[in-house]
Amino acid sequence: MVKHTCQVGMWLPYSDLHEGSPDQHVNVAELFAGKKGVLFGVPGAFTPGCQMAHLPGYVQNFYQFQAKGVDVIACVSVNDAYVMSAWGLAHRAEGKVRMLADPTGAFTQAIGLLMDYPDVIAKLGNRRSKRYSMLVENGLVTKIFVEPDGGGLTCSLAQNILSVI
């Protein structure tokens, strides 16, 4: 059993993330208010698993998500806004996946999904997000999938969450 504080039935916190630049703020709770959406988190933009499998799956399956009534798909990483923006451009995510930066990890910590593993810090320079995906309806978490080791590539991929919507 994965231990984290984010659970089904939890409301997303009123937390500002950055989109495009450090001056552009997006409140996560407001982004999902009145909408059905998918929020997924990754350890880092441009890292191997995130680059090859995680983000591409959400971009490629955008229209399948729409067909199932999903209004918004957002990706969160403990990166700066410029890196997240560049990563989104590299994967043609514009108009499909909102690329949200959590530069201090405050949002990720608030939902209890911040990795604090010494090997991750040594490789990536600071604490990072566990890999997860969640279905959010009107700001309420209705399904959540967190990788058992925080960084695997199984339950948090696009196909998995598509299968439960």
Q: Which residues are catalytic?
A: 50
Report the distance separating Cα 95 and Cα 116, nearest Å: 32
List the structure tokens of 103.
């530069």
**CB–CB of 132/3 below 8 Å?**
no
Q: Which amino acid is at 118?
A: P
